[in-house]
Amino acid sequence: MKRLSLLLAVLVLGSPALGAVRIIVEPNDNTAAIKYETDGEIVRAFALDIMVDAGTIIGISDFIRGESTAENPGYGIFPANFGRYITVDADTGEVATWDVSNYTPVADPCDPGALGGLGTDGITIEMGALYYPAADNSPNAPGTSGTLCRLTLSTTANVTVSLNEVRGGVVLTDPDVAATVDMLQASAMTVVPENELLAPSHPDYAEWVAVGKPVCWAYPRQCHGDADGVAEGNASTGYSYVGPQDLNVLVAAWQVKEPPFGPGIASIENGICADFARDKEGSEATGFYRVGTTDLNRLVANWLIKEAPKGPGVRGDCGGSLVP
């Protein structure tokens, strides 16, 4: 890790280089695997824009975090988010942990040249490789083909990948190699959902359908108070899936009456995500609402419970497996 800062600078500032690289979108149910192949060249980093023509991109998974190794090769350095989530010891150059839940390849939409991010119709991903020794024949180098990540879509859509030239495009370890980046298998590739985010056998399935199949109910800890599927905290103090961000969602949706007594939970952005108990409260005389005392009780029961190794963690047994 001694030369980490220098190598990261290369990833961020390296000039775009064309290479014998093919980007491939491989549909599988409601997910799209983003893959790559080369003719033998080793890619140092990818900066890609990924768009859908319907619905949104709601999750990203199947990527590695940290250094590429023989046991776990790949592109686990994310220049767009490194400074936000990863801490490097100034004396040793060592990283305390790469396993930070918010450390993903998706660039912040406020970053220059980045698309809207998860929950929109387009994301920008930045992924680089760090390994020792740094030669192309290193046993720890990424392969000449592999999976960069897998995306979850909200509905049937055509997926198109393009180079983000502003953020570097494709950077080879040998920038003098001239070739072509082939996007033929990454243009308007159709992804058709076949599986529900919640299984029809799940006890809350009927209720989920009744409220419009909200994506957030597929977060593993949503029914325990996790409205956004994101862990809060940091590496030194620990991470919690139920915290202030979830409370904010609950407060915004608190006792919002359904018509004709009020505008309904649909009028509150992500308000249904705070329906942790997945029930209605109230009466026909005074009106019904989706977010109330039963939901607050679940949030309180799991408030700021730290994930391992700092604590026991919140159970991920709410029926879904979606990671935002």
Burial class (CB in 10 A: 0-12, 13-18, 19+), 243: buried
Rounded to whole angstroms, the Cα distance separating 32 from 171 reads: 23
193 pLDDT band, cuts 50/70/90, is low
Q: Does residue 179 surpass a pLDDT of 90?
A: no
Between the CA of residue 231 and those of 101, 269, 273, what are the distances in Å?
6, 20, 15
Q: Give the distance, in angstroms, between the CA of residue 202 and the centroid of all CA atoms in the same chain.
A: 24
- Confidence check: pLDDT of 279 > 50: yes
Whole-model pTM: value is 0.59
* Gap between the Cα atoms of 59 and 52, Å rounded: 13
Domain boundaries, the chain: 4-191, 205-301
pLDDT tens per residue, range 109-136? 999 999 999 999 999 999 999 999 999 9
Q: What is the tens place of the pLDDT at every residue in 33-63?
A: 999 999 888 999 999 999 999 889 989 999 9
3-class secondary structure, 178: coil
pLDDT of residue 10: 46
Looking at every residue in the chain, the average pLDDT score rounds to: 89
